[in-house]
Every structure is written in structure tokens, then in C-alpha cells.
Structure 1
Amino acid sequence: MKRSNGEGSICRRSNGKGWVGSLTLGHDENGKQLRRFVSGDTQQEVRAKLDAIKQERERGTAAPSNARLTVAEAVDRWLTYKARDLRLTTMTDYRTHCQKFIVPKLGSVRLDKLTAMHVEDLLVSMLDSGQSAARATRCLKIVKMALSQAVDWELVGRNVAERIKPPKVQRQEMKVWNPAEVQRFLTAAEGHRYHALFYLALVSGMRRGEMLGLRWSDVDTARAQLTVARSVVYVAGGLHVSEPKTAAGKRVITLSPDVLEVLTAHRLTYGVNELVFSSSKGNFLNPSNVARKFEVLCQRASVPHIRFHDLRHTSASLLIRSNVSAKVVSDRLGHADSGFTLRTYVHVFDDQRRAAALSLGEMLREAGD
């Protein structure tokens, strides 16, 4: 709500969570308003903050919010703030999108002068230059997060990107192998140093980095299970060990007898150190090298070209088609909840539902067998 001149204004945040207020403290040499922004959970809290600023103004000690801060400076502060809590891979992703797209387009704009149209222009320019809708959407998400923090820091009164809709992302059809193609690939990979790695990927649905970080101490042959405790990722020109992608990523995976047999044979042949899968020198395998070997074996097996990560999707698809529940598949893949699993593999579950649409006569025959 607006108040009388000099009293400031108060309104709800654009996302409906909390309140924001602003107060004009004067004008600069060009006649532009110098304003101070505040925020709070309740209207009363914001009003109290504005009243305190008015007292500062009367004493001559009130200073405007950092009105001359540019978007580039605000983004840099936000990245420094987020670096304390985020994984290295996530921070690298944020920095890359900021440096390549956000700052070149918006960096010179003063934070308090940034408008929704500035952000819309960023998205349009990215799409016009051939960037994907997914990448533009990622940039929009980062801008929204940075501006939301700027509101919390009381640098601006509102998040101008809050209501901007992301460009429509065309969902790519998931590529997976059928059982015959899986068998052809594994036959072609027999005797290869990475055979056990591919076998485990297909049966467990583990991420590549999780397997590259796997140690023999994580494998419990007596209980027929392994523990996913870390991941190896390639970031900023080097390999780094980090925690799994999500809290749910720290999990225990039950192993079938055939997997234990393959892992045991692999250890007898290549188990030179604590790493389950390592280079000939005992170092971490480079993810890019693994991907290249995978492509070579795909050609040798004459199977459809898929990404290494699609082995994870293939594993999930095979589990679902074997009537394994969404909850079990979710736990095995390390998803935060089974709802995400259902959304990701909705087409596979739809196939299963259609297959379950039996007539009463068919159901009675099945039950009687």
C-alpha cells in the first residue's frame, strides 16, 4: 500500500511470500530518486523498519540501498554467497552461465534500474543466437535466484524476473536399449577393461561419476550390496571427488549373484588398488575416456547410439518393464522421491498400465494359472 509523500510504500513480494517496502531519501545530481528498500515476513515488520529509517533520515545518517550497484556486481556477490553451500559442479554451472550469457547482456545495467524487459531481452537474444530453450531457462532460473537474494539483502524492492515465464523446452524422447540390444553390447564388451563398469551401469542405474568413485570397501560381497558414497566429476580442467548429486544419492544398492560374479572377476584381473574402476596406472578414470570407449563398443555391437548416461535410463526402463515398483526404482536410482521417477519414465509406466488393462476373463485365467 502507498503512504503519504515521504512516508514510503509497502507491498507484498511478487511471489506472495513476505512484504517489501521502500522509502525515498533524496535525489542524485541527475534528479533520480535515492531509495532504501526493506523486507520482512509481515507488513508490521516492514513498517517498523521504514519508521527506523525515517528516524535515521531525520538524523542525517540514512544511506540509500546500494543504488549504483550493477547487475554484474550483484551477481558476483551472490555467487560468492552461494559458494559456501553448493557443490563444486553446481557452482561451476552457475558461474559458466553468468559469465557467458547473463553478465555480457545485463552486467552493465544498474541493479535498481533493471526491468522485466531487460530479462526478457536476455532470453530472446539467447534463443536468436541459437542457444537452446533449456539453456535460456537455466539462465532465467539463475537470474531469479540472484534477484531474490538481492531483495532479501534489501538492495532492491522487488524481483523483476519473478513472473517471467521460461521458454518452452521441447522434451527429447528418451533413448534406451531393449533387452536384445543390451545383450549384444555386453557380448561386444566382454574381455574389455570396462566390461564390469558397463555391466554395473546397466544393472544398477548408477551415475557414471558414482561408479568412477566406487571403492572396494564400498562393496559388501557377504551382504550382496554396495554403498554409493561419493562421485568423481570433471570440473575446471581436473577430476574432483564430491558427494553424490542429492541427499538421496547416498544409498545402498542390492546386487544380484551375476553382478557379484562379474565384479569378482574384474577384481582378480584389474584390482590393483582401492578403486573398483581405475586406469592402468591406478588413477581415477577420465569420464571422457570412458565415453569414447563406450562409443567404440556401441559401433562394434551394432546397437543404436545412445549416451553413456542413457545406460541409467535403460536400467530404469528394464526394471519398470519387469514390474518393479516406482518406489524401488526411485530408491535404486537415488531419486529424491518416486514422483520424480514417475514423471521421468511416464511413458514406460504408461506401457505397463496399458499392459495391465486385462479383461475380467484374462484376469481370471491369469489368477488360475
Structure 2
Amino acid sequence: MKASAGRSNSQFGFHTESVSNREHRQRSYQKVFDERKRPIRGLWVRNGRYYAQLVILNEDTGERKVRRVPLEGATTPAQARSKMEELRVDRRKGQLPVLRRTPKFADYAEQYLDYYRKVEDVKRTSTLETEGYAIDRWKEHLGEMRLDRINPAMINGFIAKRKAAGVSARTVNLEITVFRNVMKRALFDDKWITRLPTDNLRPLKSKPRKRPLVTPSEMEKICWAAFQPAFSEGKVVESGKGKALANAQEFTDFIKLMSMSGGRASETLRLKKTDVDWLNRQLIFGSDGLTKNGKMRRVDFNPKLKAHLKDMFSRLAPDSEWLFPSPRRGDADRPAKTFRESLLLAREAAAMPRFGFHDCRHHFISMCVMAGIDYMTIAEWVGHQDGGILIGKVYGHLAADHKRRQARKVRFDVAA
């Protein structure tokens, strides 16, 4: 026998429209009634779960669609009605949650990387490689989790796991920055989420490592090694039984230019002849917009930098616009890609296995600090945007050490 309309459902504690077929009732949406057995407009229930029926505007297409939105946490008609009203208020404010199934983090992170691999001049290859390493760690932690389900507790779990594995606070902070980049795209570009799960997350305290002084003699040693007859078939051999590096002059020009200007390896390779402003006595980094922070900067000539540039210009290839043209450029004028192989050989021959291109930048900053140049000026030269704060933290000890060495030279026993 068919049940009458408005029959009470004691299992869920609300009144619903009756349906004779039990299986159909279990999989169908049913109207919810108030205490006076009147249907509550827009409120439905299915299998004990409440839903609000809303008309949603797609801002991209202008199309309106009717959606039934689950009311999480509602267990009574009164609670469901209250949550439905909250959704209506959010709709008027344009703050509705995402009402579609979001991608899994692992899938979306790959889409993020693929996008930036295809778009030119947005992120450098080296940046994408670094982000890829960090994203691999996040995939291991989040993997199949959908974007809208990621919460602060999961992020804190990642931090705890990485710290337990002995990873430095600086590296963990960088990994969180990469994660935030992915989620920002999901929020602002693709609108998969309505807020960042990293909101109010503070970075781990990280004490910058004090850089040891890279001395002028060490800079000279690495350059000297490149000209020694100690290389054969891509290997270091006994001195006198080989030849100097084929690109010894270009390699040492590269090393000296970075150590006298503070340039990074990648941006120094991209320098053009026109980036040397002889009139204003400045070397311009980032005229192509591809510096680390995307901003152009000017380094004022110091005496050694000016002399080195003049020496370089006397030997530059007349058929290239680059300071370091590719030796295999053919008819296409392009810069050299790297001096990495030359570096590995030269530092082995010089017995300086830990020397890297970035040490040239550290050398420049160290010499500037010890010369008493204010940190803000140095920061402008090397492209820091913090007004010299980082330089003070990382290199400030060199200024103190230099002062102590100078103090030891003071004498009070001068003969009359």
C-alpha cells in the first residue's frame, strides 16, 4: 500500500514526500518539510544527506545552472536550512565554494609544470627544474588528494616529515614556496579553490650560513690553472703532458667578470656588447628581463672592472653581439651555453674541488663589504631587493674580521 504524502521518516527526523518504491527512494532526492509539514524551498535530502538547490552563474560563460550542493555537517532540517542560507549569502558575495570536482594534486601539479614549459620567457628552465624537484616531494606526500581537500594540517605534516629527514629549514621553506605557487595558480587562474591552505603559515626560522672569504689569490689560482698544460681529452693529466683548456681565455674572462661585478653565471652569459655603458661607466645586467627577480640592474664600474672590460673588448669577436659568443654558433649569432666543463677541469687542476661559479659573486660581495661600502649600495649592485639586510646577515662578519685585522696593525712604539 502506498504511504500517504507527508509521512514522517523517523530514521532521519524530517518529513519527506513519500515514494512507494524503497530502492527508488534510496537513490532519489526528496523534498524536506518543516515542522508544519510545508516543503522547505530549495532543500533536499538523499540517503540521509542534505542538499541545497542553487542557481549558479558561470562567470566565464554567463550560463546559469541548477546545482544541488551537499550541506556538510547538517544532521537536522534546521541545521540544513541554516547552512543553505549561509550558501545563499556567499553566492550574493561571490564567495561560493567550488561546486565541481577538483583535480588531484599530482595531476594538477603536472599541468602546472607543463604550462610553464610551453610558455616562453616566464620561468627559466633551471627554475622549472628546481620546482619539479620540490613538487616530487609534495606528490609523495599529497599524491591523490584533491586540491580542495588539502588543509593546513597536511602542510604541517609535510614540514614535520621533511624536518625529521634532516632537511634544512631553508630547503623546506623553498619547497613550501613552490607548493604555494602551484596553489596560487589553482586559486587565481583556474579557480579550483577559494582560499590558499598556506594562509597564515609562517616560514621556518632559518639562519643564513656565513660565507667564508673567497680570497683574491684563490680567484687567481683558478684562472691560472686554466692555462696550464694539464688537460688532455677532457681529463686532467700531469702538468706538462697536456695542453691548456681550449677556451682558457674565454673561461678566465668569464670568471674575472663575475668576480668584479657580482653577476650570476646565467645572466653574465647573456651579456651583450651594448650592455656595457661606457658613457655612464656601468655594466647592465638583465636588459633582456631574465634576471632572477626579472629586473634590470646597473653595476657601476670599479677600476678593475673597467680595465677588464677594456681588455675583453680588445679581443671580442667582431661578428658577434655577445660578450661570450658560442664557439659553435655558425651563421646564427648566439651566446655560449655554459663553461661548466671548463670549470670542472680547472678546479681539479687547481686542487679547489668545491669552487663554483657562485663563489665569484660571493668574492665580489666580500670585497665590497671589506672595502666599507654600505650594504644598500652592494644590494643594488647584486640585485637584492631587501636594502642590504641579507648581505648584513651573511657577510657582516667579514667587515668585523677586517676591522680586527686592521686594528692589529696599530702601533704605539714609533720612535721619536
Fold-level match, TM-score > 0.5? yes
1:275 is aligned, of 316, 322, 329, to 322
Residue 286 of structure 1 and its aligned partner are, at CA, apart by 2.2
Gaps of 5+ in 2: 1-41, 52-68, 72-84, 228-247
Partner amino acid, structure 2, of 1:281: R
Q: SS at the partner of 2:49?
A: coil
Q: SS at the partner of 1:226?
A: strand
Q: C-alpha offsets along residues 307-336 of structure 1, whole Å, 9 cap, x if unaligned? A: 211110111101111112212211221222
Question: With structure 2 as the length reference, what TM-score do the two structures score?
Answer: 0.59
Work out whether residues 150 and 197 of structure 2, in 8 Å CA contact, stay in contact via their aligned partners in 1. yes
Partner amino acid, structure 1, of 2:393: R
The equivalent residue for 2:300 is 254
The equivalent residue for 2:28 is none
Are residues 308 and 110 of structure 1, via their aligned partners in 2, closer, same or farther at CA, if it must alter by over 3 Å?
same
Report whether the alignment pairs 1:310 with 2:356.
Answer: no
What is the RMSD computed on CA atoms of the aligned residues? 4.5
Report whether the alignment pairs 1:215 with 2:272.
Answer: yes
Report whether the alignment pairs 1:70 with 2:117.
Answer: no
Residue 212 of structure 1 and its aligned partner are, at CA, apart by 0.5
Residue 154 of structure 1 and its aligned partner are, at CA, apart by 7.2
Report whether the alignment pairs 1:286 with 2:286.
Answer: no
Residue 195 of structure 1 and its aligned partner are, at CA, apart by 1.7
Q: SS at the partner of 1:346?
A: helix
Are residues 266 and 150 of structure 1, via their aligned partners in 2, closer, same or farther at CA, if it must alter by over 3 Å?
closer
Question: With structure 1 as the length reference, what TM-score do the two structures score?
Answer: 0.65
Partner amino acid, structure 2, of 1:121: G
Are residues 66 and 137 of structure 1, via their aligned partners in 2, closer, same or farther at CA, if it must alter by over 3 Å?
farther
The separation in 1 between residues aligned to 2:398 and 2:282, in whole angstroms, is 27
Match runs of 1:168-247 below 5 Å: 169=206, 171-189=208-226, 192-230=249-287, 243-246=290-293
Are residues 113 and 285 of structure 1, via their aligned partners in 2, closer, same or farther at CA, if it must alter by over 3 Å?
same
The separation in 1 between residues aligned to 2:213 and 2:352, in whole angstroms, is 11
Q: C-alpha offsets along residues 258-278 of structure 1, whole Å, 9 cap, x if unaligned? A: 444433443443424111112
The separation in 1 between residues aligned to 2:251 and 2:128, in whole angstroms, is 29
Partner amino acid, structure 2, of 1:203: M
Q: C-alpha offsets along residues 183-211 of structure 1, whole Å, 9 cap, x if unaligned? A: 33344446633221111111111111121
Match runs of 1:314-329 below 5 Å: 314-329=363-378
Report whether the alignment pairs 1:332 with 2:369.
Answer: no
The equivalent residue for 1:51 is 89
Report whether the alignment pairs 1:108 with 2:153.
Answer: no
Q: How many pairs align?
A: 312
The equivalent residue for 1:238 is none
Partner amino acid, structure 1, of 2:138: I
The separation in 2 between residues aligned to 1:281 and 1:150, in whole angstroms, is 42
Kindly name which structure, 1 or 2, has the bigger radius of gyration based on alpha carbons.
2
Are residues 76 and 31 of structure 1, via their aligned partners in 2, closer, same or farther at CA, if it must alter by over 3 Å?
farther
Are residues 97 and 67 of structure 1, via their aligned partners in 2, closer, same or farther at CA, if it must alter by over 3 Å?
farther
Work out whether residues 175 and 310 of structure 1, in 8 Å CA contact, stay in contact via their aligned partners in 2. no
Match runs of 1:127-146 below 5 Å: 133-146=169-182
The separation in 2 between residues aligned to 1:35 and 1:215, in whole angstroms, is 60
Q: SS at the partner of 1:351?
A: helix
Q: C-alpha offsets along residues 40-99 of structure 1, whole Å, 9 cap, x if unaligned? A: xxxxxxx9995363799xxxxx98623531342665677799879943358625751464
The separation in 1 between residues aligned to 2:180 and 2:279, in whole angstroms, is 49
Q: Percent identity?
A: 18
Are residues 128 and 70 of structure 1, via their aligned partners in 2, closer, same or farther at CA, if it must alter by over 3 Å?
farther
Work out whether residues 202 and 311 of structure 1, in 8 Å CA contact, stay in contact via their aligned partners in 2. yes
Partner amino acid, structure 2, of 1:274: E
The separation in 2 between residues aligned to 1:85 and 1:216, in whole angstroms, is 22
The equivalent residue for 1:237 is none
Are residues 304 and 93 of structure 1, via their aligned partners in 2, closer, same or farther at CA, if it must alter by over 3 Å?
closer
Q: Structure 1 residues 86-95 or 259-268, which shifts more?
A: 86-95
Report whether the alignment pairs 1:118 with 2:118.
Answer: no
Q: SS at the partner of 2:327?
A: coil
Q: Structure 1 residues 307-316 or 70-79, which shifts more?
A: 70-79
The separation in 2 between residues aligned to 1:121 and 1:147, in whole angstroms, is 17
Partner amino acid, structure 2, of 1:65: V
Match runs of 1:75-114 below 5 Å: 75=109, 86-89=122-125, 92-93=128-129, 96-97=132-133, 99-114=135-150
Q: C-alpha offsets along residues 279-322 of structure 1, whole Å, 9 cap, x if unaligned? A: 323442223xx133123223333447322111101111011111
2:345 is aligned, of 296, 308, 324, to 296
The separation in 1 between residues aligned to 2:125 and 2:305, in whole angstroms, is 30
The separation in 1 between residues aligned to 2:324 and 2:127, in whole angstroms, is 27
